[in-house]
Chains A and B, each alone.
Chain A
Amino acid sequence: MTEDSESTGLPLFRTWRAVYIFVLGCFVLWVGLLFALALAFR
């Protein structure tokens, strides 16, 4: 078993690739929310 195919042990994210995509998705979400906050109170 290679390091990247090793199980993450997480119920929703079975592969490390899925975990990384989730993390980067969270980043996009944070940037979007920060931008929206500035727009809402500009």
Chain B
Amino acid sequence: MSPLDFVVLIGSMVGIALYGLWRTRGVRDLSGYLKGDQKMGWAAIGISVMATQASAITFISTPGQGYESGLGFVQNYFGMPLALVIIAAVFLPIFRRLNVYTAYEFLGRRFDAKTRLLGAALFLVQRGLGAGITIYAPAIILSTVFGWQLSLTILLSGLLVIVYTVAGGSQAVTVTHKYQMAVIFGGMATAFIVLLARLPASLTDALTVAGGFNKLEAVDFSPDIHRRYTFWSGLLGGVFLMLSYFGTDQSQVQRYISGSSLRESRLGLMFNAVFKIPMQFLILLLGVLVFVFYQFERPPVYFNQAAWHARIQQGSAEPFHSLEQRFDAAHAEKQRWIRAWLDARHSGNRTAEAQARAEAVAAHAKSEAVRAEAKAAMEQAPHSGMKSNDADYVFITFILQQLPHGVIGLLVAAFFAAALSSKSAELNALGSTTTIDFYRHIVRRDATDAHYLLASKWFTLLWGLFALAFALFANVMTENLIQAVNIVGSVFYGVVLGLFLVAFFVKQVGGTAVFWAALAAQTLVFVLYARTTIGYLWYNLIGCAACVLFSLLLQALISSTSRPANPLPTSP
């Protein structure tokens, strides 16, 4: 990166953080700190909800998914519109009517203290783990590519977000989200424009090439539950994942209960219901177009070039040079056939077009086989730490090699903005839940507002330091990073959602039945995750269904001895 890139990066990140601190300097009470005094409009809520969900991993890793697997990952978001409609119509009015600080307070009022604590504890475990990943994931990639010291990258970005989140609470999170999203959209739009300008083919030809290599297959109606992304897993599993995430995860609940009215909160959610799928589509399409770009330009055989060169220096270079030469030959052959394919297409020669396309696909298979050998060689390296997916390095490599200075700084700023935006919401939610559901509920029941405000700041700081420690000591990633975050979420979310669905819709079930049912359902999900290869989105449905079913069965068993279930609470 050049000095100009560093000016753009540091100026935008520190500037937004300072602005957040300045705007929230007057926050003096718990409601202002945890709910932003409930004065946010729908646009601020909509952007804040989007910024919370979109971490740095979204923008670094998703284009890599597009490059490797095409548009299919967009199906992961198919459940989101329906889930957000359900939340807006059912969950949100009750959260607002009860005037809760956290979603788990509702469980306490509907069931009992132990169920509230179970819901809050499941949130803290999964979100605490996720918080470590969201700070570690971008840092490992950026430090590897730019040669920065990993621990310094984690510490600087982590400390910046801790400072303004601890100081300004929920209000600081929402205020900074607006400007962080502006940097993100500005960066991604610039990358799109530069990429389109640099493509050596028209957009139609680029899409033709992408389609020829099956990169545009966005919707798969296969009923196979072992396929990770299909229309059905996205719609059914996705509804449960998104219901859990948006309806029961405090990092999101805290965003939309800060609306100045029910209308503002609802419209903020509907904004996301409409625009999230096109946004994810465009990020994946960016990856697909990077794939097309690298059909005309020679890509690295292994995108994590820093690791590749380090590996060559570790041992015998000859096998790696041999892989490079074979990849060059396969890629050159593929390039020839792609040009012949497009020439035939322009001249209207269908037979020649079909033949050239088939040859290009065959040549592509050869080059991918060489890449697979390169990946295998890298994974065998001693002390490599190379379990992270090479796809995560595709977009950052493209940025570094193909974009002009200044724009590189803007894109890296966009990644950091995304990291800070999701991190700040997570820390805010972790601090809130620890304060409201554990500290105020168990440790100090009758302290002053000022005391709880101070406690919230301390707990937010402690969670920030925990996430930093996790990020500093984590060194193994077994999946593509965005998938790792979603897998952790899916393992826990289904059961938490089951708790809430029973609370909302199954009035005869009481606290004891749902508590033990949730524990049994969570155990079932752990066993299935360890012993089967079911696509992870299905764990949301399985965990939720098991929790509801076990609740009904247990309630039937103990109904003669337990007290009647609490009705749905209607007032604070």
Contact = CB atoms under 8 A, between A and B. Distances in A.
A41 B208 contact: yes
Nearest to B79: A27
B263 A30 contact: no
Contacts of B278: 30
Contact of A20 (B74, B88, B207, B210): B88
Contact of B78 (A20, A27, A40): A27
Interface string B209-238: 011100011110000000000010000000
B263 A9 contact: yes
Interface string A1-30: 001101111000000100110011011001
A9 B261 CA distance: 12
Contact of A35 (B210, B218, B277): B218
Contacts of A23: 81, 84-85, 270, 273-274
A8 B216 contact: no
Nearest to B273: A23
A16 B210 contact: no
Contacts of B210: 41
- Tell me if A's interface is mostly helix, strand, loop or mixed: helix
Nearest to A4: B89
Given A23-B274, A42-B211, A37 B216 contact: yes
Contacts of B208: 41
Given A6-B263, A38-B219, A41-B208, A27 B84 contact: no
Contact of B277 (A9, A27, A37, A40): A27
B82 interface: yes
Contacts of B85: 20, 23-24
Q: Which of under 10, 10 to 19, 20 to 34, or 35 or more describes the interface residues of A? A: 20 to 34
B219 A31 contact: yes
Contact of B89 (A20, A30, A34, A42): A20
Nearest to B274: A26
B71 interface: yes
A7 to B, nearest CB: 8
B403 to A, nearest CB: 26
A40 B203 CA distance: 13
B93 interface: yes
A26 B74 CA distance: 15
B219 A34 contact: yes
Among B71, B89, B208, chain A packs the most CB atoms within 10 A around the CB of: B89
A40 B78 CA distance: 21
A7 B267 CA distance: 12
A8 B267 CA distance: 8
Contacts of A30: 277-278, 281
Contacts of A41: 207-208, 210-212, 216
Interface of B: 71, 74, 78, 81-82, 84-85, 88-89, 93, 207-208, 210-212, 216-219, 231, 262-263, 266-267, 270, 273-274, 277-278, 281
27 contacts: A3-B262, A6-B263, A9-B263, A20-B89, A23-B81, A23-B84, A23-B270, A23-B274, A24-B81, A24-B82, A26-B274, A27-B81, A27-B82, A27-B273, A34-B71, A34-B281, A35-B218, A37-B218, A38-B71, A38-B216, A38-B217, A40-B207, A40-B211, A41-B207, A41-B208, A41-B210, A41-B216
Interface of A: 3-4, 6-9, 16, 19-20, 23-24, 26-27, 30-31, 34-35, 37-38, 40-42
Given A20-B89, A41-B210, 7 more contacts: A16-B89, A31-B78, A31-B219, A34-B219, A35-B219, A38-B218, A42-B211
